[in-house]
Structure 1
Amino acid sequence: MNIALDNILSRTKGDRWIWLIVILLSTISMMAVYSSTGTIAYQHDTGAERYLMKHMFMIFGGIALMYISHKLDYRYYAGISKVLMAITIPLLIYTLIFGSHVNDASRWVAIPGTGLTFQTSDLAKLALITYLARTLSRKQENIKDVKQSFIPIMGSVCVVFILIALANLSTALMLFGVSILLLIMGRISVKQIAVVCLAGAFLLAGVVLLGPRRATYKSRIEAFMHPEHTNSDKSFQADHAKIAIATGGVFGKGPGNSTERNYLPQSYSDFIYATIVEEYGLIGGLLVIAIYLFLLYRCVKIVTKAPKAFGALLAAGLSFSLTIQAFANMAIAVGLGPVSGVPLPLVSMGGTSILFTSVAFGIILSVSRHIDETTGENAVGKEGSLKETNKRESNKVVVGEIEMA
């Protein structure tokens, strides 16, 4: 058993704490999903084990992808980012026109022959972040140049933002925020960043006021700002999420004892944090928050140690994306924001979103692995130099002793 464990550990590289975080979040996810799918399983006359097995299959598939991603040198992702962007933009357009419509939103594309669907916005997040990291790192010498640097960067951010926002505004806003953080880290001038923000605000206003889901956005904002004057049907999910959290208390009702899972339509995905707090109480909720905060801390350490700008920007963008999404999900569950379809990374039940999240973790670990290998090589080099110096000094002493004799 120990030999097998040592063999596995020897093959996994990068920050060990991030591997532990992935295991903890996956364990919490399986427990919460198994508990929260009891109602939907009853409605479909099946067992909750069926949903758990499907979810576990996605988790183990995600861990496999994370392992493969972390073994690939992160510098290869610079070239891959161009391919991803070339695929992403046409795919986002295809999704808006021919994608599957759920709740008046066209976010999903069917994968032929598998029966699975995936949100193209998950691929777009990965593509834009890697592309921005590549572009910002390679154009540092002329980063202030409008034609060579600013226009390509601004164009990629705004195009991806508008294509995602038409169907999934919350994801688009988070990705836009991450992009701005990367522009700041990439030494883009304040004036240019202000221009990007103004362009984003203009596009946002157009989507909210003229977009195909303007009625949905308006009703959700009204339900959040004035819940006392809102139809109970529109605030149904938010109300029951608050009830779940309020009745959880300090220690919770215990695993599998949630009652609000019978009322929350998305208790296993968008509102899984409310289910966790109801069953595990304030302690469980704070534990999940602490895990994501610790993840951010470990990723920041990787960013500060990365020897190259591309690695630092890549790790920063992906880690900011994961943690911002996590805290947005938890904020919505506790009533700090309007309802939106934002899953909790590696915890919410999902299909391909888990796979894309796992790839993001793998890329971060790839950067961390490169740092460890570089540090190890430097340490070996220094040790070799020290041994050589000691050897020369020792020879001098011996020669001196012979001459004195």
Structure 2
Amino acid sequence: MSAVFNQPSLARRIAPVFQGFDGFLAFAVFLLACAGLMTMYSSGYDHGTRFMDHGRNMLLAGFIMFLVAQVPPQRLMTCAVPLYTLGVALLIAVAVFGITKKGARRWINVGMVIQPSEILKIAMPLMLAWWFQRREGQLRPLDFVVATLLLAVPVGLIMKQPDLGTSLLVLAAGMSVIFFAGLPWKLIVPPVLIGVVAVTLIIGYESTLCADGFDWRVLHDYQKQRVCTLLDPSKDPLGKGFHIIQGMIAIGSGGFGGKGFMQGTQTHLEFIPERTTDFIFAAYSEEFGLAGNLLLIASFIFLIFRGLAIALDAPTMFSRLLAGAVTMIFFTYAFVNMGMVSGILPVVGVPLPFISYGGTAMVTLGLALGILMSISRARRLMQT
């Protein structure tokens, strides 16, 4: 008598690959991706293949997310030290013989031209999460000092390029890990107070600090100009203040319901600079108004809260710290971009996640989502 074996169907065979995927996280990303495609179609209609390229970048990010989601968090932990070491080595190489464009040395040719600072957006939280995982149960103040030094090296190298936007994102990712690891409040309060006092002094003595010839020492001239432009963009409305002024006009002219899809005059008459990249939020606001902004912000909040929920449920300290830091990357991207376009933060060149055009940034976001999916998937598989 022969036994009959029924071959499982294709759906059953591929089901384990998708088992454990976080549906809530995928839904939030889907909403943001739809908003990004609509906005790019409108704002990039005369930018050649921008819309098609943006869709291709999204597909690439989705593919990367899918691949990384298959990698267990334990395997990700083994990549922390090599990836961090590679990133710092490339930053040093950039400082020595990097490619200079528009006064900034941020790129290097390794067979193809790359921007090594992008690696640190993911490598930095990986490295710090690995460090605190090793010190679990025996954390001392010295461990936080070592973590700060690990963070300060790449941030300092990136600021020297200079690249304030990327250094801010790497700093935020690293500080998130240090904070979630249990940084004492007595070490948090003094820097916050110093920052508040510094901002108060800058606002109070704006006319003196922004006067020609005043040396800020710590900041480059272009960084000083960005801060001074933020405080009073009307001083140079056709020059350095043009970006902020036009962005605020576009946001305000959208009203509550917006002017309608493809009907943004500030956008289509090309008053908004960089309307497909850094200032795409202004184009979105003009066409979809306050109602559209509330939906967009709600989608980001949903994504961030879902990421924090994944962090809370993570089974290990490494996974918890990494998930929390990756989630804060999305928060920093969105908050800084919306803030600078709205005129409440200096213009630092930070894209709006899933909305702004840019292949490198989209790949970074795909990696970040893949890490969150991996951590969520590992937890769900453990529970089942």
- What amino acid is aligned across from residue 29 of structure 1 in structure 2? G
Partner Cα separation in structure 1 for residue 76 and residue 127 of structure 2:
9
Report the CA distance between 1:218 and its aligned residue: 0.9
Matched, 1:370 2:378: yes
The equivalent of 1:401 in structure 2 is none
Kept after mapping to 1: 8 A contact 2:237/2:245: no
What is aligned with 2:205?
A: none
TM value normalised by structure 1: 0.80
- Quote the offset at 1:173 in angstroms: 2.9
| 1:299 Cα deviation from its structure 2 partner | 1.1
Structure-2 residue corresponding to 1:140:
136
d(CA) in 1 for partners of 2:355, 2:15: 24
**For residues 37-116 of structure 1, what are the structure 2 equivalents within 5 Å?**
37-39=44-46, 41=47, 48=48, 50-109=49-108, 112=111
Residue in 2 aligned with 1:359?
Answer: 367
- Among 172, 176, 179, the alignment partner of 1:181 is 176
Higher mean C-alpha deviation, range 176-185 or range 127-136? 176-185
Partner AA of 1:335 in structure 2: G
Provide the identity percentage. Answer: 28
Would the aligned equivalents of 2:129 and 2:322 in 1 still touch at CA under 8 Å?
A: yes
Offset of residue 154 of structure 1: 2.1
Per the TM alignment, residue 38 of structure 1 is displaced from its structure 2 partner at its CA by: 3.0
TM-score w.r.t. the length of structure 2 is 0.84
C-alpha displacement of 1:85? 0.7
Report the more deviating stretch, 100-109 or 347-356. 100-109
Q: Could you tell me whether the CA contact under 8 Å between 1:118 and 1:351 is conserved in 2?
A: no
Q: Is the 8 A contact 1:150 1:192 kept in 2?
A: no
Q: Distance in 2 between matches of 1:347 and 1:331?
A: 15
Spell out the pairing of 1:280-359 with structure 2 (5 A cutoff): 280-359=288-367
Letter aligned with residue 22 of structure 2? D
Q: By how many angstroms is 1:86 displaced?
A: 0.9
Letter in 1 for 2:131: T
Report the equivalent of 1:33.
Answer: 40
- Kept in 2: contact 1:144–1:188 (CA 8 A): no
Over 3 Å counting, the alpha-carbon distance change for 1:187 and 1:350 in structure 2 is same
Q: d(CA) in 2 for partners of 1:124 and 1:305?
A: 25
Instruction: Point out the structure with max Rg over C-alpha.
Output: 1
Q: Is the 8 A contact 2:124 2:173 kept in 1?
A: no
- CA separation in 1, counterparts of 2:272 and 2:92? 32
- Of 209, 220, 229, which residue of structure 2 is paired with 1:223? 229
Report deviation, 1:209: 4.1
Contact 1:118 1:353 in 2 (8 A): no
Instruction: Report what 1:17 is aligned to.
Output: 24
Structure 1 stretches lacking a partner, 5+ long: 42-47, 202-207, 377-405
Q: Which runs of 5+ in 2 are unaligned?
A: 1-8, 197-214
Instruction: Tell me the SS of whatever aligns to 2:106.
Output: strand
> Does structure 1 residue 158 correspond to structure 2 residue 152?
yes
- Contact 1:180–1:193 at 8 Å: present in 2 too? no
Cα gap change, 1:271 to 1:8, in 2 (>3 Å): farther
Pick closer, same or farther for the CA change 1:173–1:198 going to 2, 3 Å. farther
SS at match of 1:257: coil
1:172 and 2:167 are equivalent in the alignment: yes
Deviation, 1:83, is 0.9
**Following TM superposition, by how much is the alpha carbon of 1:176 offset from its aligned partner in structure 2, in angstroms?**
2.2
In the alignment, the residues of structure 1 paired with residue 191 and residue 120 of structure 2 have an alpha-carbon distance, to the nearest angstrom, of 19
Measure how far apart 1:189 and its partner are.
4.2
Going from structure 1 to structure 2, the CA distance change for 1:7 and 1:340 (only over 3 Å counts) comes to: farther
Contact 1:329 1:344 in 2 (8 A): yes
Please provide the CA RMSD for this pair.
Answer: 2.8
Question: Could you tell me whether the CA contact under 8 Å between 1:65 and 1:359 is conserved in 2?
Answer: yes
Contact 2:29 2:303 in 1 (8 A): no
| Counterparts of 1:6 and 1:273, CA distance in 2 | 42
The 1-side partners of 2:341 and 2:381 are apart by 41
Alignment-derived partner of residue 233 in structure 1: 239
Q: 1:197 to 1:252 in 2, by over 3 A?
A: closer
**Residues of 1 paired with 2:287 and 2:97: CA distance?**
40
